[in-house]
Amino acid sequence: MKAPVSMRIFFAFMSAMLWTGIYFTGFSVVNWLLYLPAAVSLFAAITGICPSLMVITKLMDLNQKQASIK
């Protein structure tokens, strides 16, 4: 599932803002956890593949199927 162009631009902007914040704070000062969303959003912007979007979509599909079974 490839993300549309508008979503890829959003990921690129979000990644740029996170990396800018990390730069201004200092790479050695920032907690390692902040690098995860910055790296994943950059990956999503470049490739169009967003792992979190895929997981959420699958979870929502499962919830809708379970609700229709009941």
| pLDDT, tens digit, 9 for 90 and up, residues 1-58 | 678 899 999 999 999 999 999 999 999 999 999 999 999 999 999 999 988 888 888 8
Q: What is the pLDDT of residue 1?
A: 66
DSSP the chain: -PPPHHHHHHHHHHHHHHHHHHHHH-TTTS-GGGHHHHHHHHHHHHHS--HHHHHHHHHHHHHHHHHHH-
For helices 5-25 and 35-47, the axis angle rounded to 10 degrees is 150
Q: What is the pLDDT of residue 47?
A: 93
Which amino acid type is present at position 41?
S
Domain locations along the chain: 5-69
Q: What is the pLDDT of residue 32?
A: 93
Q: What is the pLDDT of residue 53?
A: 83
Rg (CA), the chain: 16
Q: What is the pLDDT of residue 66?
A: 66
